[in-house]
Amino acid sequence: MIALVAREKSVSIRLLMHRSRCRNATARARQLAMYLSHVVLGRSLKAVGDAFGRDRTTVSHACALIEDMRDDPRFDDEVSALELRIETTVAGLERESCDAY
């Protein structure tokens, strides 16, 4: 999922995971990745924060910010497409896991 956002937003994975805030485009991509981790993958705010080296309140802020940005139809379409890709990938992995038994 982090690789997907990094690729879609043309930001390196290293910068997404970097401890500093970085430039606005990088910070926004990181916020989107945190949002998708929480909303689509169902990870807790604490788990997402731990994965990104951030506090759970930072993740909460990122999620609220991305939700507000979804009022823009173009941005909402972009996020919806990413959500669908992640859900499809997760479903495929679950199917493969079940087929292995």
Tokens of 5: 């956002």
CATH topology of domain 2-99: Chromosomal Replication Initiator Protein Dnaa; Chain: A; (1.10.1750)
Q: Is residue 37 scored above 80 in pLDDT? A: yes
Sequence-separated (6 or more) residues with CB below 8 Å from residue 49: 34, 55, 56, 58, 59
Taking residues 72-93, what's their average pLDDT? 92
In this predicted model, what pLDDT tens digit does every residue of 44-81 receive, in sequence order?
999 999 999 999 999 999 999 999 999 999 999 999 99
Ordered by start, the domain boundaries in the chain are 2-99
Q: What is the pLDDT of residue 2?
A: 87
